[in-house]
Amino acid sequence: MKSKRLNAIADLINKNYSFTDIGCDHGYLAMIVRESGNRNLIICSDDKIGPLNNARRNLENYDNILFVLSDGAKEIKKQTDIAVLAGLGFQTVRKIISESLAYFRKCKKIIIQVNQNVDLLRRWLLENEFKIVDEMIILEYKYYEILVVENGKTELSEEQIIFGPYLLKEKSKAFRDYYHKQIKKINLIINKLNPEHPDRIKLEEKLLKIRKMLKD
C-alpha cells in the first residue's frame, strides 16, 4: 500500500499490540499492519456500511480481524491496546473520544491524525488529561501531523500547543518546509485584504509567531 501517511501510522503500531481502526474506510491500515507481521487482533470499524464492506472485501484473506459497524467506539465491545483515529476532523475525533471516554482510557496508546485544527486537538487533549508522547509530520501531497497520545496529565506552553511539543523540539525539514509554505500562504491572503480588514491583525500575529518559532 503506497500511502506514506498510513505507512507512518502503521510504523507506530507495535508488533505485539492489538489495535482498533475507527473510521477504517477501505481497511488499508489493517492490511499494512498485517503485512508487517503483526498477528494480533485488529478491529476495523466504521459508521457506514459501504466503507465497512469495502474493508471486509479488501481484508478477506486475512484472519483475526473483526468488522464492527459503529459510530465511534460506541458499539465496540472488545478492548485493544491501540486505537487509531485517522483522516477525520477534529470535531469528530473530539466527539468520538468524549462519547466513549472509558474505552479510550483503557487504551495504551491512541494514534490521532486530524486533517485540520491540530492545535485545537492538542489543547483539548491537554484539558482532558491525555498527554502527547510522540508526534510526526509527513508530506504526502499535503502535510499531515500524526500524534501519539497516552492517558495522563502534562503541561504545554502556548507555543507547544500551536506547533507541537515534539515537532518543535525536532524542527524537521518537513516541519520547516510546512511553515515556510504557511508564511507564503498567509502573506498572499494578507496582501489581498484591505488594511482595515479584521482578519488582518490575526493573520499578522500568526505570521509573527511562525517567524519567531522558526528563528528560535
DSSP 25: T
What is the closest distance, in whole angstroms, from the C-beta atom of residue 190 to ligand SAM in the complex? 31
5-24 residues near ligand SAM, rule: CB under 6 A: 6, 22-24
What is the closest distance, in whole angstroms, from the C-beta atom of residue 52 to ligand SAM in the complex? 8
Is 40 one of the binding residues for ligand SAM (CB under 6 A)? Answer: no
Q: Are 122 and 156 in contact (CB under 8 A)?
A: yes
Binding test (CB under 6 A) with ligand SAM, winner from 47, 119, 134, 170: 47
Is 134 one of the binding residues for ligand SAM (CB under 6 A)? Answer: no
DSSP 52-71: HHHHHHHTTT--SEEEEE-S
What is the closest distance, in whole angstroms, from the C-beta atom of residue 27 to ligand SAM in the complex? 9
Decide: residue 35, CB within 10 A, 0-12 exposed, 13-18 middle, 19+ buried: exposed
Is 48 one of the binding residues for ligand SAM (CB under 6 A)? Answer: yes
56-95 residues near ligand SAM, rule: CB under 6 A: 71-72, 86-88, 92
What is the C-alpha separation between 177 and 89, in angstroms, rounded?
23
Q: What is the largest CA-CA distance in the chain?
A: 61
Of the two residues 81 and 159, which places its CB atom closer to ligand SAM in the complex? 81
Cell 487533549, residue located: 125
Which residues of this protein are in contact with ligand SAM, per CB under 6 A?
A: 6, 22-25, 46-48, 51, 71-72, 86-88, 92, 96
